[in-house]
Amino acid sequence: MTDYNKVDENIIQQFRDYVSGKVYAGNDINEDFFHDEMPIYGSYQPDVLIEAKSTDDVSTILTICNEHKIPVLARGAGSGLVGSGVAINGGVMIDMQGMNKILEYDLDNLVVKVQPGVYLHDLAEDCLTKGYMYPPDPGEKFATLGGNVSTNAGGMRAVKYGTTRDYVRAMEVVLPTGEVTRFGAVVSKTSTGYSLKDLMVGSEGTLGIITELTLRIVPQAKHTISLIVPFETLEDCIATVPVLFRAHLKPQAIEFMERKIIIASEKYIGKETFPKNIEGTDVNAYLLITFDGDNEDEIDLQMEQAAELLVENGAIDVLVADTPNAIKDAWAARSSFLEAIDSQYKLVDECDVVVPINKIAEFINFVNEAGEKYDFDVQSFGHAGDGNLHIYAVSNDEDKKEEFNKQVHDFMEEIYTKAYEFGGQLSGEHGIGHGKLQYMREFEGEINTNLIRGIKKVFDPNMILNPGKVVSVD
Amino acid sequence: MTDYNKVDENIIQQFRDYVSGKVYAGNDINEDFFHDEMPIYGSYQPDVLIEAKSTDDVSTILTICNEHKIPVLARGAGSGLVGSGVAINGGVMIDMQGMNKILEYDLDNLVVKVQPGVYLHDLAEDCLTKGYMYPPDPGEKFATLGGNVSTNAGGMRAVKYGTTRDYVRAMEVVLPTGEVTRFGAVVSKTSTGYSLKDLMVGSEGTLGIITELTLRIVPQAKHTISLIVPFETLEDCIATVPVLFRAHLKPQAIEFMERKIIIASEKYIGKETFPKNIEGTDVNAYLLITFDGDNEDEIDLQMEQAAELLVENGAIDVLVADTPNAIKDAWAARSSFLEAIDSQYKLVDECDVVVPINKIAEFINFVNEAGEKYDFDVQSFGHAGDGNLHIYAVSNDEDKKEEFNKQVHDFMEEIYTKAYEFGGQLSGEHGIGHGKLQYMREFEGEINTNLIRGIKKVFDPNMILNPGKVVSVD
């Protein structure tokens, strides 16, 4: 075990003297900072919470922490789901939410420069006012962009537009030593040494702290249309997805969901949009599909082709949402799944495993069958267009938390084993954090895990930066 | 300086005993393997050339080389332009061209699995017969895909479709220790630890040898149209590019070229397609633009909008190529630039610097002015849509090679300094190899260069794999 030092009064005074943002210590730290959106992974109090206002602040903090061998991590909105932004070793937490300026649009090069604490929602909205779109669209709109980049957040539109990685052109980074550097460039094409920028994307704040981002934007699509597609069985539902791709259709998003999660979510938001029974047939699964583009005729054509294929392949009906309000309603239930689950259950754990899209149906069946032998309930939904599945283990037996955790572990082992059999991976978009760390070596293998550890040590010789996330400390 | 061992008879015998492919030693090695397509960087004879037939072959060779501390590198078609695939330390060269099978299409997941020795041309053609497209389109069609991935090759279509990186889903890799591992997965979305796959892309064979690739393909665009757009001045020509992007037009490719390189290239291929004088006005620069898409009306509309904007912004004319033959003719001259230059000049050096697209005109003017003080001629062309510029220093004074090299060095220093001032980088698609290594530390900085060196040592503790490329040995 690496020995870290404690933050003493002298060091706290250094932070107060040399950092421009506020410094909180001990009981002055708000408990919201002790966990992220998956509290099942534990509550951990940092010794100090510092609001960073500038790159200099971050550099000063890291220099001091590195000198004294104190664990330190950056935290965005705390909306993570694997415990990446949680101070499991105590030490210093840097709140990045104060660095929240959209700095500059460069519309010749189609990029925007932002500070890492800007919320996804704010950049997305701001881009639209200029006729542009920032395509990555994870479910949580009030995550910071720094957090999105650090997890390579995916979201709904990945099937057409790719993930956050595809929109990161360049970044300013403070290394664990306090040194400030830049990775990448404004340009769209580069082959200038190893891609340190791509190494940073998805590294969950373990290699350096991002203090500025240059992100790619695209012209806003002029037209959008959504389809709600009910099916009698989940199998029929998911089996249609490769059919759409083989027909060369290019949806912006394809989500699948089971009946019970829609019911829970509609109850949570207080509005019913999805049909539950059509002419005597119970609906047990849905696809929610969006097409976008600049040419209305082209989108209508794609929509018609899709509708025909969907019905041919077992859809009971195809409901079209083609006004902004109707589209918003169609997506409202989908956007509230996590909140709906949290509101219903006291114990919640989840995984965001990813499998090849032609294996989704088989995989979900496996998951549902495997789930039957455990005491908890299983709920699942996910990105049918890219195979990224959100599988929830939920229970209200709060007294049996330890047993719940044990059972969930066994369940996850089963799920991941099957996912890797199918050519999938542990996480599609949430990352590893410390919540999934125990599975890394087993599923990603000794060789790859050792390479990751080696790289971590190159960036962070004292292992002070967000230790115990992605890769174990020892 | 790292001390390497020589390949002795005993080791050669081990290769002959344990590797299934042919082993050539000493004078039996064809001189073509001594250099790549930029012979100005020198001629180097490997001690042994081994034709790899399988992953096992590669693993066996690396295990032996690692044990005996012998430098070793993989080579594809030898079409590189920075000396990456050249045995500057002697030792073992592995010819990957025998591993040239297209293994399997998976059209549900839109990927194809290939061996690394498949030529880009062969995969591109094969995809088309199935109605799909492998979008990366570097000028050299007879490069191997392993080489394309190792340099993150860009090419003409990067402006719309991205670079090779964007099409690499997964790979099998043999590490310098001989261990075999896999990075990435078939899936399009992943956040499972550091992206070792993205670290491999563009690492020029210095971290591991790729023995299998899973590449993303897309449905083939149904319609394509090209425009030849003559301008009186280069400045007018390049200034129109951001105008097209701001109008939300999405060309597949936008190349710019100066008059003299078109004349040389048309002479080389024996066919004239580009107008040189229009109603008394000399043409001094051209844009060559392609639009593609599934909807003919949509493409026609884009083309008309583009034509209008181009003429408004100084184009003398807009020539439309809308049949396969006309499009082929329009692009034939562009595809032969390098051969045309090589056929004309005895001394050729080049760079493929990249700058933000709104800086191209200013940058090319700077380059042309800077070039005037040197004895060599300067020719340039490039990807106007992504700022990746190919700038050639050419001369026929073969007797003055040393002076040529010295002057080119000074010229490159000037060019790179200006490129970095503008926010650009050393290489857009060719890589660093050993030809550009001397510029890495100066322009990418001490911090980033040290990180790259550290990562190299994690993968390759004995520094045996393609030493002296991208990062210096000591």
Torsion of CA B87, B91, B97, B103, to 10 degrees: -120
**Which amino acid belongs to residue B217?**
I
Token pair, residue B468, equals 């002296």
Radius of gyration of chain A (CA): 23
Residues 38-67 of B with CB under 8 A from A: none
Token pair, residue A152, equals 């390579």
Token pair, residue A464, equals 């002070």
Q: Which contiguous run of DSSP H or E holds residue B269?
A: helix B259-269
- Measured between CB atoms, does B423 come within 8 Å of chain A? yes
Strands (E), A295-446: 319-321, 347-351, 377-383, 388-395
- Measured between CB atoms, does A429 come within 8 Å of chain B? yes
Residue B1 has pLDDT above 70, yes or no: no
CA distance B465 to chain A (A): 15
Gap between the Cα atoms of A202 and A115, Å rounded: 17
Longest dimension (CA), chain A: 73
**Which amino acid belongs to residue B449?**
T
Q: Residue B298: list chain A partners with CB under 8 A.
A: 294-295, 298
B352-371 confidence digits (pLDDT tens): 999 999 999 899 999 999 99
pLDDT score recorded for residue A297 = 86
pLDDT score recorded for residue B474 = 74
Q: What are the distances in angstroms from CA B90 to CA B33, B46, B70, B93?
A: 11, 4, 9, 8
pLDDT score recorded for residue A205 = 98
Q: What are the distances in angstroms from CA A416 to CA A353, A355, A408, A443, B186?
A: 7, 10, 12, 8, 15
- The b-or-e profile of B339-368 (16+ CB within 10 A means b, else e) is ebbbebbebbbbbbbbbbbbbbbebbebbe
Residues 100-159 of A with CB under 8 A from B: 106-110, 131, 151-154, 158-159
| Helix B401-421 × helix B360-371 angle, to 10° | 150
What is the average pLDDT across B37-46? 96
Cβ pair B187:A355 closer than 8 A: yes
Render each residue's pLDDT in chain A as its tens digit; 474 residues: 568 999 999 999 999 999 999 999 999 999 999 999 999 999 999 999 999 999 999 999 999 999 999 999 999 999 999 999 999 999 999 999 999 999 999 999 999 999 999 999 999 999 999 999 999 999 899 999 999 999 999 989 998 999 999 999 999 999 999 999 999 999 989 999 999 999 999 999 999 999 999 999 999 998 999 999 999 999 899 999 989 988 889 899 999 999 989 999 999 999 999 999 999 999 999 999 999 988 888 899 999 999 999 999 999 999 999 999 999 999 998 888 989 999 999 999 999 999 999 999 899 999 999 999 999 999 999 999 999 999 999 999 999 999 999 999 999 999 999 999 999 999 999 999 999 999 999 999 999 999 999 999 999 999 999 999 999 987
DSSP assigned state of A108: T
Cβ pair B387:A294 closer than 8 A: no
Radius of gyration of chain B (CA): 23
pLDDT score recorded for residue A246 = 85
Yes or no: say if A375 and A407 are a contact pair by the CB < 8 Å rule.
yes
Q: What are the distances in angstroms from CA A51 to CA A29, A100, A146, B272, B433?
A: 11, 12, 15, 65, 43
Residues 270-309 of A with CB under 8 A from B: 294-295, 297-298, 301
Yes or no: say if A306 and A249 are a contact pair by the CB < 8 Å rule.
yes
Which residue, A230, A241, A229, is CA-closest to A359? A241
Q: What are the distances in angstroms from CA B214 to CA B146, B177, B185, B197?
A: 11, 23, 8, 11
Residues shown for chain B: 474
**Which amino acid belongs to residue A280?**
G
| Helix A324-335 × helix A337-344 angle, to 10° | 40
Q: What are the distances in angstroms from CA A418 to CA A124, A393, A422, B141?
A: 36, 17, 6, 39
Helix (H, G, I), strand (E, B) or coil at A138: coil
What is the average pLDDT across B26-50? 97
Token pair, residue B405, equals 């090299």
Which of A172, A174, A179, A194 is the best mutation test for B, with the most CBs of B within 10 A? Answer: A194
CA distance A21 to chain B (A): 27
Gap between the Cα atoms of A380 and A360, Å rounded: 11
Gap between the Cα atoms of B165 and B147, Å rounded: 12
* Residue A90 region by backbone torsions, left for phi larger than 0, else alpha for psi between -120 and 50, else beta: left
**Which ipTM score applies to this complex?**
0.96
Token pair, residue A14, equals 């250094």
Q: Residue A107: list chain B partners with CB under 8 A.
A: 242, 245-246
| Helix B259-269 × helix B324-335 angle, to 10° | 110
Cβ pair B191:A387 closer than 8 A: no
**Which amino acid belongs to residue B336?**
S
Gap between the Cα atoms of B194 and B175, Å rounded: 17
Bridge partners of residue A1, in order along the sequence: none
Cβ pair B189:A250 closer than 8 A: no
Q: Residue B430: list chain A partners with CB under 8 A.
A: 191
B204-239 confidence digits (pLDDT tens): 999 999 999 999 999 999 899 999 999 999 989 999
B275-290 confidence digits (pLDDT tens): 999 999 999 999 999 9
Helix (H, G, I), strand (E, B) or coil at B201: coil
Yes or no: say if B80 and B430 are a contact pair by the CB < 8 Å rule.
yes
Which residue, B426, B408, B404, is CA-closest to B417? B426
Helix (H, G, I), strand (E, B) or coil at A330: helix
Gap between the Cα atoms of B420 and B22, Å rounded: 45
Of A187, A447, A471, the CB nearest to B386: A187
Cβ pair B354:A189 closer than 8 A: yes
B105-131 confidence digits (pLDDT tens): 999 999 999 999 999 999 999 999 999
Of A166, A301, A432, the CB nearest to B166: A166
Q: What are phi and psi of B222, to 5 degrees?
A: -80, -30
**How many Cβ atoms are within 10 Å of B6's Cβ, its own excluded?**
10
Yes or no: say if B57 and B50 are a contact pair by the CB < 8 Å rule.
yes
**How many Cβ atoms are within 10 Å of A179's Cβ, its own excluded?**
16
CA distance B151 to chain A (A): 6
Q: What are the distances in angstroms from CA B204 to CA B207, B417, B455, B469?
A: 8, 24, 14, 8
Gap between the Cα atoms of B123 and B154, Å rounded: 16
Cβ pair B248:A131 closer than 8 A: yes
- Burial of A305 by CB count in 10 Å (0-12 exposed, 13-18 middle, 19+ buried)? middle
Residues 68-87 of B with CB under 8 A from A: none
Q: Which contiguous run of DSSP H or E holds residue A219?
A: strand A218-219
Q: What are phi and psi of A141, to 5 degrees?
A: -80, -15
Strands (E), A316-460: 319-321, 347-351, 377-383, 388-395
Yes or no: say if A20 and A53 are a contact pair by the CB < 8 Å rule.
yes
**How many Cβ atoms are within 10 Å of A1's Cβ, its own excluded?**
5
- Measured between CB atoms, does B202 come within 8 Å of chain A? yes
Bridge partners of residue A184, in order along the sequence: A170
Which residue, B203, B183, B201, B202, is CA-closest to B193? B183
Residues ≥6 apart with Cβ < 8 Å to B441: B449
DSSP assigned state of A207: S
Residue B335 pLDDT grade (very low, low, confident, very high; cuts 50, 70, 90): confident
Token pair, residue A215, equals 């992100």
- The b-or-e profile of A402-426 (16+ CB within 10 A means b, else e) is eebeebbeebbebbbebbbebbbbb
- Burial of B399 by CB count in 10 Å (0-12 exposed, 13-18 middle, 19+ buried)? exposed
Gap between the Cα atoms of A114 and A72, Å rounded: 23
